[in-house]
């Protein structure tokens, strides 16, 4: 067999099909992982309370986006495998089109969570919003409930530190005390909430970025298979 014989569409198509099967299987697994992460974060009542009291709704909305992407990827991965198995140009073209939509949504998902969970800038923004809740701690029931919740759940005290309560002539609330040691928590809620968001944003953004890279390779192999099927039909007729 010559090198030219190996390069013909009939010889190359099985290789492309195996690559497509492999990429679609990994993509299907990541899509299922993205869906699972979205469901876990969406059902986290604590995060809902945080987004209700602070201006980080984009982070919460991104969970709906990643759940939608996960479902779409699970479906389209099956269509991609089916298109490669039956060597259908129509299914492959549909797969490429929907994959392009998925890639755009994945980029949007990464931008939403990474723009929200933005290191020191985010911590500064969260701190300022928490200071407003501390200022209204005794006059607003929602602010009191929110600060007690976040200090209890994240084991922190104050927006910057526990002295924030002294600035408004307030006593340290019981929620500032650690249940394990009965001492006042020393970490700030702005820092702990930033870390909380960064962990979840990293999970969503990391899986979305992995899917984006896989889809780039998958588009290449599907395009090669589509071209191979086109060339094969030319040789036959």
Residues 116, 72 within the same domain: yes
Residue 155 lies in a domain: yes
In a domain, 126, yes or no: yes
In the prediction, which pLDDT does 203 show? 82
Domain total of the chain: 2
The values of phi and psi at residue 188, to 5°, are -80, 150
Integer Cα distance of 204 and 207 in angstroms = 6
- State the SS3 of 99-143: HHHHHHHHHHHHHHHHHHCCHHHHHHHHHHHHHHHHHCCCCCHHH
pLDDT of 76 > 50? The answer is yes
Range of the domain at 184: 122-190
Residue 97: per-residue pLDDT: 84
Whether residue 89 is predicted with pLDDT greater than 80 in this model: the reply is no
Q: Which residue has the higher pLDDT, 20 or 231?
A: 20
Residue 2 pLDDT? 40
Is the same domain home to 164 and 206? no
- What's the whole-number average pLDDT of the chain? 79
Query: Do 91 and 111 fall into the same domain?
Result: yes
Per-residue pLDDT at 1: 40
CATH number at residue 127: 1.10.1450.10
Q: Are residues 174 and 217 in the same domain?
A: no
H helices, E strands: number in the chain: 9, 0
Residues 185 and 209 in one domain: no
Q: What is the pLDDT of residue 237?
A: 45
Residue 226 lies in a domain: yes
Please give the structure tokens belonging to residue 103. 């890639």
- Mean pLDDT throughout 116-129? 74
Q: How far is 148 from 176, CA to CA, in rounded Å?
A: 8
| pLDDT tier for residue 46 given thresholds of 50, 70 and 90 | confident
Q: Among candidates 186, 187, 190, which has minimal Cα distance to 198?
A: 190
Examine residue 3 and state whether it is found in any structural domain, yes or no: no
Q: Could you tell me if 186 and 108 lie in one domain?
A: no
């Amino acid at each position: 067999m010559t090198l030219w014989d190996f390069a013909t569409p009939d010889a190359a198509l099985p290789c492309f099909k195996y690559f497509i099967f492999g990429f679609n299987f990994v993509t299907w697994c990541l899509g299922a992982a993205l869906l699972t992460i979205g469901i876990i974060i969406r059902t986290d009542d604590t995060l809902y309370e945080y987004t209700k009291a602070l201006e980080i709704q984009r982070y919460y909305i991104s969970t709906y986006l990643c759940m939608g992407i996960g479902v779409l990827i699970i479906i389209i991965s099956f269509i991609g495998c089916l298109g490669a198995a039956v060597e259908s140009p129509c299914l492959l073209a549909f797969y490429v089109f929907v994959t392009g939509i998925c890639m755009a949504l994945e980029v949007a998902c990464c931008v939403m969570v990474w723009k929200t969970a933005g290191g020191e800038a985010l911590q500064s923004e969260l701190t300022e919003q928490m200071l407003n809740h501390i200022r209204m701690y005794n006059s607003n029931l929602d602010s009191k409930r929110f600060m007690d919740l976040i200090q209890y759940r994240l084991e922190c005290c104050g927006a910057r530190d526990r002295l924030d309560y002294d600035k408004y002539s307030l006593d340290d609330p019981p929620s500032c005390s650690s249940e394990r040691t009965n001492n006042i928590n020393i970490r700030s809620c702005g820092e702990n909430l930033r870390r909380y968001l960064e962990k979840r944003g990293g999970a969503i953004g990391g899986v979305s970025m992995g899917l984006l890279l896989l889809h780039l390779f998958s588009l290449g192999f599907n395009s090669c298979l589509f071209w191979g099927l086109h060339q094969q039909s030319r040789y036959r007729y």
